[in-house]
Chains A and B, each alone.
Chain A
Amino acid sequence: QKEVEQNSGPLSVPEGAIASLNCTYSDRVSQSFFWYRQYSGKSPELIMSIYSNGDKEDGRFTAQLNKASQYVSLLIRDSQPSDSATYLCAVRSTSNTGKLIFGQGTTLQVKP
């Protein structure tokens, strides 16, 4: 079992729709979770971080965390073609190094 798992996609949604991206993780005691966006050929950029169960909203983005189910998701409302990218879920390791462990990413395509 991979430490952080994502469906590689592609996930295709029409412009204006809600895109839902999902991630599961294996370390039950993980505390810090991050979503990064990566455009083709570019480096990852942080979109959202979440540390507590529940929802966290920032503009069109909502991160959801359920520690009991070891599940974190990212919702993108009113999806735009410019949202087309790969979305990487990352979980901070509970080891003393605190490294970030990434999933393989989900490719999102927003069609005009």
Chain B
Amino acid sequence: EAEVAQSPRYKITEKSQAVAFWCDPISGHATLYWYRQILGQGPELLVQFQDESVVDDSQLPKDRFSAERLKGVDSTLKIQPAELGDSAMYLCASSRLATGANVLTFGAGSRLTVL
């Protein structure tokens, strides 16, 4: 069964440090999402890509977060500098399209702890 690959699974860092997460979506999935899930809350969309283009980054804290999907396949989410409030699970998901019945498949997630 095809999977969304994410790394690292766990990351502990000190505040003000830089951190990066990587995601490889299911082959053929044009739409890639980065969600952030704070403990006890539902996932919140940070950024959505259609192929290599950003189509929604309205909730991305652009002063410290950046995301790219240069060749329209895998993607990197970066935080610099990390803050205590960034501690969360960072979930990558992909879907064939972004409309109608197309479902999102999530990766295992990257758990970030900022000390």
Residues of A at the B interface (CB closer than 8 Å) are 4, 6, 8, 31-32, 34, 41-46, 49, 51, 88, 92, 95-105
- Bound state CA distance, A42 and B108, in angstroms? 6
- Bound state CA distance, A67 and B89, in angstroms? 32
Tell whether, in the assembled complex, residue B103 and residue A34 are in contact, meaning their CB atoms are under 8 Å apart.
yes
Smallest CB-CB separation from B110: which chain A residue? A43
A46 and B55 in contact, given A102-B43, A102-B44, A104-B41 (Cβ under 8 angstroms): no
Set of chain A residues within 8 Å of B99, measured between Cβ atoms: 92, 98
Tell whether, in the assembled complex, residue B40 and residue A104 are in contact, meaning their CB atoms are under 8 Å apart.
yes
Set of chain B residues within 8 Å of A105, measured between Cβ atoms: 41-42
Q: Report B64-88 CB contacts with A as 1/0, cut-off 8 Å.
A: 0000000000000000000000000
Secondary structure call for the B interface: loop
Nearest chain B CB to A27 CB, angstrom units? 15
Residues of B at the A interface (CB closer than 8 Å) are 33, 35, 40-45, 48, 55-56, 89, 91, 97-109, 111
Secondary structure call for the A interface: loop
Tell whether, in the assembled complex, residue A43 and residue B109 are in contact, meaning their CB atoms are under 8 Å apart.
yes
Count how many pairs of residues, one from A and one from B, have CB atoms less than 8 Å apart in the complex. Answer: 62
Tell whether, in the assembled complex, residue B33 and residue A44 are in contact, meaning their CB atoms are under 8 Å apart.
no
A100 and B45 in contact, given A49-B101, A51-B101 (Cβ under 8 angstroms): yes
Q: Which of B42, B55, B56, B107 contacts A43 (CB 8 A)?
A: B107
- Bound state CA distance, A49 and B95, in angstroms? 14
9 nearest A-B pairs in the assembled complex, by CB-CB distance: A102-B42, A98-B98, A43-B106, A97-B56, A104-B42, A43-B109, A98-B99, A97-B55, A102-B43
Tell whether, in the assembled complex, residue A99 and residue B48 are in contact, meaning their CB atoms are under 8 Å apart.
yes
Q: Which of B40, B98, B104, B109 contacts A97 (CB 8 A)?
A: B98
